Each structure stands twice: as C-alpha cells, then as structure tokens.
C-alpha cells in the first residue's frame, strides 16, 4: 500500500491530536523568546545599587551605578517608588530619593526609623539584595520654642555641622541661593567640615509632654523644615488642642536630639486677616495685617460662607507666602461669580473681622 507524502508548512501548528502527539508553534516560540529578551534588556538597563551608607536613624545615602530615571524620583509617583525599595523588618522609604548637588548618582533617601544593630536588607526593583546595619544615631537640634498657640518648632544650625537636605540636593539648588552648597561622598564641604543631614521630614512626629501631665504626638507641618532661610521645622498639636500658658513642655523624638528641649508656653495672639481677594474661581489670596516673618500659614484652612447659603473650604498653598500675603486653593468646590463670601479661619489660627471676598 502506497501513501502520498504531505507537505505541512512550518508555520502551521499541529493541535493536540487524539494520538497524544503535541507540536509547538515556531512563531509562538519566537514571540516568547523576544519578550524574554526584552524583559532581560529592560532589567539590565535599570539602575543598580552600588553602595549604601547609613547617615542617621532616618536617612540613607545610596549610590547607584547611574542616575535614576525621572519617573523614579518624581514626588507625584511616590507610592509607586515606595514599592521599588523592598526592605525587611518593615522598613520603607518615606519620600523620593534626592540627588546630591555635584553628584552623578548618589542620593539622599529618607526611611522609617531604624533600630540600632539590626541587619537590614534592601532590594531595589527586584535586584540583588544589599545589606546594611541600622543605627540609632539622632540629628542634633539646638533648641525648641513655641510659635503659635498650637505649634512649636525645633531648630538646628549650619555652624553646628547640621544641614537640611534642601541645601545640598540638586532639585532645590536654584531656589536656595547662598544656602546651597556641595558635600562630597563623606558629607564634607570644601573646607573639610562634616555635616549631618536632615532628610525629608514628611510624616515625622515628635512627642511633647507638659509638666501638667499632658502628652501629645505632634505632627510635622509640611514645607516648614527649611523655610525662611532657617532650619526650624514646625510641629503642630492634634486639631483642637492648644499649649497651655504657664505649662512647661518637653519635646522628645526618636530621630532628633534636642539640646534645649523645654519651653514654657505663653498666650500668643492669633494672626489677623486684613483682606481677601479672588484670583480665579479656584484660588484667592489672603492678606495679613503684618508680615509674620515665618511660615505660619502652613497647614491652615479657612471656611467661606456665601450669601447664597453655600459653605466652602480652602487650604493654604504650601510655600506660596510672600510677606503678609498667602494663596489659598479651594478644596471642595469653586467660587461662584459675584457671590460674596465671608472668610472664617478654622481652628482659631487667625481672627477675621468681617473679611469678605467676591467670587470670580
């Protein structure tokens, strides 16, 4: 019996036959290999960690083999960036890496509080694990003092060998003026002076305890750690709480060693709102009766009560203060054209005697 030969094109796949014979699509093999090569190439192109230096209990200095991609240092991408840094012992980064001024690929990386002597491991984007030993070394601050009835500050000084990271990172260099300078890999300046670095204080807290038995966890007020040419980050009591005049308070922290850590509270008059003017339907400016001389608008909100019965809310735009003027952004609605609103500061941070604005 003679059988005719049958030619089957190589690109055709043979299905699983009843006889149990299986063949594979050559095209599928090629596609899979191509995807594998692409993934491999992409992984090889990613920046890799060369070295980790522990600067203090909340700060790492990490040197990569090349600069990080723009999206890997974008503050708007923080939640995704956090996932790229995989630590053990529950550690995580708290803000994006910041390239040091004058460096090619060395970054200041703020992390959650370390434990002294603990062996930490870090894998960046799933790459080979790097290890470092945790420290409980704190940053030296010289003093603390009250600034409003619910807010106080802790202050450090360059002359004490302490610098805020804003002074030594590339991202802020243009805006720091004479305060900007460079540190080498050992964090020494051109004269050989060593500096400890205050990294991002995002989500940081301190504890404040009064001699009357009161104790509060005070939260860092964003964008105040290097404002007004000072290294004096502000911390605020929980909403509705105030410092009691005559009570002596002590400030303590897991990450700051404060030389003069006590102050006796006194009554401080709230700021006074003088006027308000709409910029557009989402933004307006508030003018105080005088320049407060420091960033006291930070974290503050106002309520707007319209003559049409509407009740709106706006929040201060961080770092927008120019002297006595600060910009506020609407948070839950827009201003209606020609509607008159009375401005009411929330939580008594300021007084406003019949301060109105007209919507645009």
Tens digits of per-residue pLDDT, 87-145? 999 999 999 999 999 999 999 999 999 999 999 999 999 999 999 999 999 999 999 99
In whole angstroms, give the CA distance from residue 287 to residue 322: 10
Say whether both 279 and 195 belong to one domain.
no
> In this structure, are strands 340-345 and 356-358 parallel, antiparallel, or unpaired?
antiparallel
Say whether both 278 and 235 belong to one domain.
no
* 39-57: average pLDDT: 84
The per-residue pLDDT for 311 is 97
In whole angstroms, give the CA distance from residue 108 to residue 96: 9
Question: Final residue of a domain: which of 247, 264, 281?
Answer: 264
The CATH number linked to 297 is: 2.60.40.1220
Say whether both 345 and 236 belong to one domain.
no
Q: Is it the case that residue 313 has pLDDT exceeding 60?
A: yes
Say whether both 259 and 278 belong to one domain.
no
Say whether both 246 and 276 belong to one domain.
no
- The structural domain count of the chain equals 2
Give the mean pLDDT of the chain: 91
Residue 180: count other Cβ atoms within 10 Å of its Cβ: 16
DSSP 137: P
Tens digits of per-residue pLDDT, 35-47? 555 655 666 688 9
**Tokens, residue 144:** 């603390």
Question: Final residue of a domain: which of 212, 242, 264?
Answer: 264
The per-residue pLDDT for 67 is 98
Question: Final residue of a domain: which of 264, 293, 328?
Answer: 264
Main-chain phi, psi angles of 43, to 5 degrees:
-65, -40
The per-residue pLDDT for 11 is 40
Say whether both 275 and 243 belong to one domain.
no
């Amino acid at each position: 019996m003679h059988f005719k030969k049958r030619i089957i094109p190589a690109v055709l796949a043979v299905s699983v036959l009843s006889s149990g014979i299986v063949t594979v699509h050559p095209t599928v093999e090629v596609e899979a290999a191509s995807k594998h090569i692409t993934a491999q190439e992409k992984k090889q192109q990613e920046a890799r960690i060369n070295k980790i230096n522990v600067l203090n209990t909340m700060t790492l200095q990490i040197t990569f083999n090349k600069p990080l991609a723009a999206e890997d240092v974008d503050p708007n991408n923080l939640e995704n960036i956090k996932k790229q840094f995989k630590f053990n012992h529950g550690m995580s980064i708290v803000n994006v890496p910041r390239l040091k001024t004058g460096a090619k690929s060395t970054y200041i990386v703020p992390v959650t509080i370390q434990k002294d002597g603990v062996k930490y491991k870090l894998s960046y984007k799933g790459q080979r694990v790097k290890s470092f030993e945790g420290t409980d070394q704190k940053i030296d601050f010289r003093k603390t003092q009250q600034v409003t009835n619910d807010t106080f500050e802790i202050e450090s000084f360059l002359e004490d060998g302490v610098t805020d990271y804003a002074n030594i990172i590339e991202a802020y260099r243009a805006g720091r003026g004479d305060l900007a300078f460079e540190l080498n890999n050992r964090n020494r300046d051109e004269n050989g002076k060593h500096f400890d670095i205050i990294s991002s204080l995002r989500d940081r807290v301190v504890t404040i305890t009064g001699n009357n038995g009161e104790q509060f966890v005070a939260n860092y007020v964003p964008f105040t750690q290097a404002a007004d040419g000072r290294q004096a980050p502000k911390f605020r009591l929980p909403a509705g709480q105030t410092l009691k005049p005559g009570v002596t308070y002590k400030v303590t922290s897991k990450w700051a060693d404060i030389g003069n850590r006590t102050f006796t509270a006194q009554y401080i008059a709230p700021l006074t709102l003088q006027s308000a003017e709409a910029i557009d339907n989402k933004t307006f400016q508030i003018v105080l009766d005088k320049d407060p001389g420091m960033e006291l608008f930070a974290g503050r909100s106002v309520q707007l009560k319209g003559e049409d019965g509407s009740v709106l809310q706006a929040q201060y735009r961080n770092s927008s203060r120019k002297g006595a003027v600060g910009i506020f952004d609407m948070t839950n609605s827009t201003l209606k054209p020609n509607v008159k609103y009375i401005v009411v500061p929330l939580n008594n941070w300021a007084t406003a005697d019949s301060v109105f604005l007209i919507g645009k």
